[in-house]
Structure 1
Amino acid sequence: MNTNSSSQSQPLWWQPALGRDGRVTGAASVAQCVRTILSTPKGADPLRPEFGSDAWRYLDWPVPRAVPNVIRESVDALRRWEPRCLNVRVQPVIAGEHVTLRVNWRLQSGGEGYTEVKWR
C-alpha cells in the first residue's frame, strides 16, 4: 500500500494540516511530522532543545560536500523523533544549488509513503 503525502510540493505552513475533526492521522500525520522534524533546527524548541535536526549546519557548504551530512543528520533525527517509521531512506533531489530531500518511510503498522522537504 503506497500512501503518498498529498502536500509534497506545497509550501511549509506554520499551521498543522487538520482534517474536519481537527486531527491528522495515519500517513498524513507521519508526513506532517517528518516535515516538522526536518525543518526545525535543534535548539529552536525551548521545551525540547534536542528536537529537530542539525541539517541546517550545512546550508553554506558546497552541495556535493553537504548532501551526505544532511542525509545523515536527517536519518538520525527521524529515527529519534518519529518512532512510527521503519526503514527511513532519504534521497536528495538536486537541481543546481537547490536540494529537496525525498524521505521514503514505512510505518510500523503497515503501509509506506514518502515526504518531500525542501532543504535549500
Structure 2
Amino acid sequence: MLDRNDIPFVHWQMKRDPEGAAVLGEISAELDDLAQEIRQCILTPKRSVPLNPEKGCDLEQYRDRPLNVRHLFVAAEVRDALSRDVPRIVVREVGVAIEFSTVTINVTWSPTEMVMEEFITTEVAYVF
C-alpha cells in the first residue's frame, strides 16, 4: 500500500481505470493527473456532485440532436466545462467524432504553467 507521506507530488489523485474504477495502491501525478481530471470532468454529469452541482458536462441533453450538428454542441459543452472546472489547463482544441451511440472526444491541451508550447491530446469515449 502506498503511504501518503511518501508521495513527492503536490498535485496527485488516486488512479482510475478508463471505466472510472479506482486502482488501489496507485496514484496519478503530473500530466497523468491532469489527463485523468479532464476525463473525469467530461464523464461527470452536471448536478451529480451535491456540493458542486455545476461541475461536469451535461452531454445527455444532446442525445436526440441530429448527428450532423451534435458534435458542435458537444464540443462547446466540453470546452465550457473544462474552462470552468479544470483551471490548471489551457484547452487548444476539442475534436468530436460521432458514431450512432458513441461520441469520441479528443481534447488537445497544455498545462497553464508549462514552459514550452507543447500540447497533449486526451481521448474520452462517451456512450449515449
Shorter-normalised TM range: 0.7 to 0.9
CA distance in 1, matches of 2:62, 2:71: 8
Moved over 3 A (4+): 94-97
- State the 1:97 CA deviation: 4.5
Residue correspondences, number? 108
On the 8 A contact 2:79/2:91 being kept in 1, the answer is no
Identity %: 31
* Counterpart position of 1:46: 50
- Computing the radius of gyration from Cα coordinates, the structure with the larger value is 2
* 1:13 aligned residue: 20
Within the candidate set 86, 97, 106, 1:93 is matched to 97
Q: Kindly state the Cα deviation for residue 89 of structure 1 after the two structures are TM-superposed.
A: 1.3
TM-score of the aligned structures, taking structure 2 as reference length: 0.73
Higher strand fraction (1 or 2): 2
On the 8 A contact 1:40/1:53 being kept in 2, the answer is yes
Indicate if the aligned counterparts of 1:88 and 1:105 stay in contact, CA closer than 8 A: yes
**Higher RCO by CA contacts (8 Å cutoff, separation 6 or greater):** 1
Whichever residue aligns with residue 65 of structure 1, its letter is V
- Distance in 2, Cα, partners of 1:11 & 1:57: 23
Where structure 1 has 5 or more consecutive residues not aligned to the other structure, the ranges are 1-9
2:35 alignment partner in structure 1: 31
| Shift of residue 11, structure 1, vs aligned partner | 3.6
| Structure 2 match to 1:112 | 119
Deviation at 1:53, TM superposition (A): 1.1
CA distance in 2 between partners of 1:95 and 1:58 (Å): 13
Give the C-alpha shift of residue 88 in structure 1: 3.5
